[in-house]
A and B are shown apart, each in its own frame.
Chain A
Amino acid sequence: MTGESAEYPRPQEDSDNRDFLEAWRDGCLAVQVCGACGRSFFYPRPLCPHCWSDRLSWQTLPGKGEVVSFSAIYRPNHPSFFSDIPIVLAEIRVAEEITLLARIIDIAPEAVRIGTRVRLLAKSEANRYPLPTFRPDER
């Protein structure tokens, strides 16, 4: 049994990350792009960490990525995850300039490799998880 999403710790929604969290409720991965220097970044911030501009907009990424590195966690931080172990937590490259940390579900740790291709969960599954979550991309 996986835990219900209501049990998982949730991000604190505020004016900096609301668009990101709303995008995920629609099953999308949105990152910020700076209108001044053109660079994009994750996690959500009220300023561009590269040039400090506040001319920021949101870009929806294709939702595909590649595993850069990962860990299989047998002792999660919060009790709501105890029934989910092992949790595969990965650094995933989702854009040329951006890697982020996210869970990959429906994969055995032994099957994960550096370079394993992953994709975002479908919208119908997304509401179960507080943050963008991936599964293997079987093409």
Chain B
Amino acid sequence: MDATQIGIIGYGQSVYVKRTERSLFSFLAEASRHALASAGLRKDEIDGLAVSSFELPPDNAVTLAEQFGLSVSWAYLGTAGGAGPVASVINAARAITAGHAEIVLCLAGDNYDVAGHYRLMDNFNRALKNYGSPHGFGGANGLFGIIQRKHMETYGTERTQLGRISVGQRASAMLNDNALLRAPLTLEEYLNARVIADPLRLYDCVLPCAGADAVVVGPLDRAPAGKAVRILAGYERHNHPPGEPAPLRGGWELFRDFLYRDAGFGPEDMDFVQAYDDYPIMVAIQLEDLGFCPKGEVGPFLARHSFAWNGSLPLNTGGGQLSCGQAGAGGGMIGLVEGVRQLRGEAGVRQLAKVRRGLVSGYGMVGYGHGLSTSTIILEKVS
């Protein structure tokens, strides 16, 4: 099938909650039902299934198919943490192009809480378990504290600049009923919040929560009228640069030129950015590596832009993980769902006035010191 005729034809999201008795499968089911309704499809029209979730093992994409009563010709288990969901959509589109499936449901979610997040991180992978956890590394926070301090020391980046990300996103979250953090947030409050892993403070960190997100990938002509979203370009990269515990760059810098070449558009043509926001410093590094500003110059860039849904650079327009909560691997799909929602004109009170295309970026799978995986996709409204 022609790759240019494949895109995202539906999306869904479960309720996000801080703590729950509900099973992970019930959150995945809730997001799936919403996605199916949004696509206007029947369950049995799905013949491909992708899932990204930290808490899913020992279950997997195939046993999920059993739970959901699906027979599929293509099954994919995300292995790239918060970069996994965007990567799953890229791979689902390839599978459809190659004829292995026609309609793929891509799911991501988890149902942990703060304590569950720390337990997960202590045993996240061999290197981190052996050489991070025994140091009291603070979950991911300590690692990204090291990265942020290095960026501040190397390039002069300031917390007053990074804080504009958290503050801007919170303004958007105030218009999102499903965001867990909806109280107004001022730069003053950001700067003076409780220290978590210096230089990181409370509003640099996400709230681990329970929830799930979903998108349906398939032929554009299967979408409800006027609701199709085209995939213009997508790339992933893992373990770049190799061998550095705390790099100030990631795989985005390697595929950026190919991404914009394939899309036929550059960063200046994006009407929104849904960047992976586990920490503002990683959003800042994504903006640099994805060419929104030169490396090392993100501080002044942040200072001259505003990041709410109605700001000069609409960023994580539903509030992002920083305000909605991080539903584990679902944090890698929340931006896809919000991006598709905006392109379909279904974002309600926070709907962007002028929106043709935007960029969604993933990041994750923390290894020895930093996230190993990056992925980015460019989406466009089919007119």
**Residue B243 at the chain A interface, CB threshold 8 Å:** yes
Binds B, one of A57-65, A71-79, A116-124: A71-79
Chain A residues positioned under 8 Å from B266 (CB to CB)? none
How many angstroms between the C-alpha atoms of A41 and B242 in the bound complex?
Answer: 11
The answer to whether residues A11 and B130 also contact, given A69-B150, A101-B245, A101-B369 and a CB cut-off of 8 A, is yes
Question: Is the Cβ of B145 less than 8 Å from the Cβ of A73?
Answer: yes
B197-214 contacts to A, CB under 8 A, are 197-200
* Interface residue? B246 (CB, 8 A): yes
A-B pair count, CB < 8 Å, reads 129
| Interface residues as binary, A86-117 with B (CB distance below 8 Å gives 1, 0 otherwise) | 11011100000001111100000100001000
- With contacts A71-B199, A77-B121, A91-B369 taken as known, whether A102 is within 8 angstroms of B135 at the C-beta atoms is yes
Compute how far the CA of A75 lies from the CA of B368 in the bound complex, rounded to whole angstroms.
19
Q: Tell me the complex Cα distance, A133–B131, Å.
A: 11
A-facing residues in B32-84 (Cβ within 8 Å): none
**In the assembled complex, how far is the CB of residue A45 from the closest CB belonging to chain B, in whole angstroms?**
9
Closest partner residue, chain B, to A113 (CB atom):
B153
In which size bucket is the chain A interface? 35 or more
Contacting B136 at CB < 8 Å: which of A10, A41, A49, A87?
A87
List the B side residues contacting A78 at CB < 8 Å.
118, 122, 133, 136
Enumerate A5-41 residues with CB–CB distance to B below 8 Å.
8-12, 17, 41
Q: Chain B: how many interface residues by the 8 Å CB criterion?
A: 40
B362 within 8 A of A: no
Q: When the two chains form their complex, are residues B145 and A71 in contact, meaning their CB atoms are under 8 A apart?
A: yes
Q: How far is the CA of A76 from the CA of B132 in the complex (A)?
A: 11
Q: In the complex, A11→B132 CA distance in Å?
A: 9
In the complex, B147 has a CB within 8 A of chain A: yes
Give every chain B residue within 8 A of A109 (Cβ-Cβ).
198
Q: Which of A17, A73, A81, A90 has the most CB of B within 10 A?
A: A73
Docked pose: A14 CA to B39 CA in angstroms: 50
Known: A81-B136, A91-B246. A9 touches B142 (CB 8 A): no
B137 at the interface (CB under 8 A from A): yes
B121: chain A residues within 8 A (beta carbon) = 77
Identity of the chain B residue whose Cβ is nearest the Cβ of A75 in the assembled complex? B196
- Tell me whether B139 is interfacial, beta carbon within 8 Å: yes
User: Are the C-beta atoms of A9 and B133 separated by less than 8 Å?
Assistant: yes
Residues of B within 8 A of A (CB): 118, 121-122, 126-127, 129-139, 141-147, 149-150, 153, 194-200, 242-246, 368-369
Q: List 26 A-B contacts (CB under 8 A).
A: A9-B122, A11-B130, A11-B131, A49-B242, A69-B147, A69-B246, A70-B149, A71-B142, A71-B143, A71-B200, A73-B137, A73-B145, A74-B195, A77-B137, A77-B139, A80-B136, A81-B136, A86-B198, A87-B138, A90-B146, A91-B146, A99-B246, A101-B137, A101-B146, A101-B369, A130-B134
Q: Which 10 A-B pairs have the closest CB atoms?
A: A71-B145, A81-B136, A130-B134, A73-B138, A11-B130, A69-B150, A72-B198, A76-B136, A9-B133, A73-B142
Given A43-B368, A78-B122, A103-B136, 13 new contacts (CB under 8 A): A9-B134, A69-B149, A70-B149, A71-B142, A71-B146, A72-B195, A73-B141, A73-B198, A81-B136, A89-B138, A89-B145, A101-B245, A131-B134
